Structure 1
């Protein structure tokens, strides 16, 4: 009776009829390694015979078809051997945590002092730095919410964003002319024009018939 193959869960099977290849990755950071490609001689031979059969027909085609079925019949054994070899090779690049069973990369996700993965035994210095940043983030959030950023807003007025009627540039509240093209804003254009006396230059209100400064008729 053939022995059972010891395999790991953290792998993807990339094998095709051309050959066998497997990708192993860290259960924590998902980085990993790919096994060397191992050609499948039966699969390659069958592909060549099928190609010859499609060109010449007859016995070549029959031979290619037969080789294809042979490859399917014994491909399982070749695949098992390749998987077993790849698993043994892949184990050398990872460490298995005896607490959670995960396979992790030794350079980033393994706590060498504790002999466990960093999910089960985080590095003290890394954890302290992470918690400090988390606490700072929470304090910034709290202090930011304590400050009143709306004290200068007019909640009773109508909120609107004014644009230049000519170039559509955004205008700040109170701007009478566009800073981009100099066109008067819609608010300024709609405002009544201020008049002045032609004799003395005094301001004249709308509807005023005589100047209050010099008496000249307006």
Structure 2
């Protein structure tokens, strides 16, 4: 009976027609570890056979078709692939730990709590949790203090704000006058007919109806 092969839910088969290779992933951080490529000597010989068979035809051509069918079988399940996977598991397994808390496979370098013997998802690092909690509390306190403070005390909310200076076109950073040319950022608009001032942005005079 063949040996049981672990790592059945967190690896990808990246084998090709020349041999076998597998990529194993940590189920917490997603980091991958790729096994060494294992060249398939039998497939290399069959490649030569297919080349000869396509040249001579006949029986050799039939053998080349059999080689293609063998390659299709190898791409799904075969004892050769099982042996290759077992060798890859033996190569990669020192870099992984299986957590008894969640049964997931974790990389030993980044996601394993050696002191507790579980993954960092089941048994987080105390220092990391304290740091994360402190940062979260600090962020919440910053928002709370910012909400309590009056940020509009020194702002001119009566004057219409302009994104650009109406005189020079330079972007305005606030205030009543342009920092580049000194022009008013809210100049009064006078009607050309009656001379009455109108609100900035108005299209018609409010007194005589003349278009501004």
Q: What is the TM-score normalised by the length of structure 1?
A: 0.69
Whichever of the two has the greater Rg, that structure is 1
Matched, 1:161 2:160: no
Aligned position for 2:72: 72
Q: Deviations over 1:91-134 (max 9, x none)?
A: 22111111111111222221111111111111212211221111
- Residues 36-115 of structure 1 correspond to what in structure 2 (within 5 A)? 36-51=36-51, 56=55, 58-59=57-58, 61-73=61-73, 76-115=78-117
Distance 1:74 1:125 in 2: 48
Counterparts in 2 of 1:32 and 1:73: CA distance versus 1, 3 Å: closer
Matched, 1:35 2:35: yes
Aligned position for 2:172: 171
Counterparts in 2 of 1:50 and 1:149: CA distance versus 1, 3 Å: farther
C-alpha contact 2:95 2:109 (8 A) present in aligned 1: no
Name the Cα RMSD after superposition: 3.2
Q: Quote how far apart the aligned CAs of 1:51 are.
A: 4.5
Q: Deviations over 1:3-56 (max 9, x none)?
A: 3633222211111222111111222122232111011233333334444556x4
Distance 2:122 2:71 in 1: 45
Aligned position for 1:136: 138
Unaligned residue ranges in structure 2 (runs of 5+): 196-212
Unaligned residue ranges in structure 1 (runs of 5+): 192-205, 207-218
Q: Quote how far apart the aligned CAs of 1:185 are.
A: 7.1
Q: What is the TM-score normalised by the length of structure 2?
A: 0.71
Matched length = 187
Per mean C-alpha deviation after superposition, the further-off stretch among 16-25 and 82-91 is: 82-91
Q: Quote how far apart the aligned CAs of 1:187 are.
A: 5.8
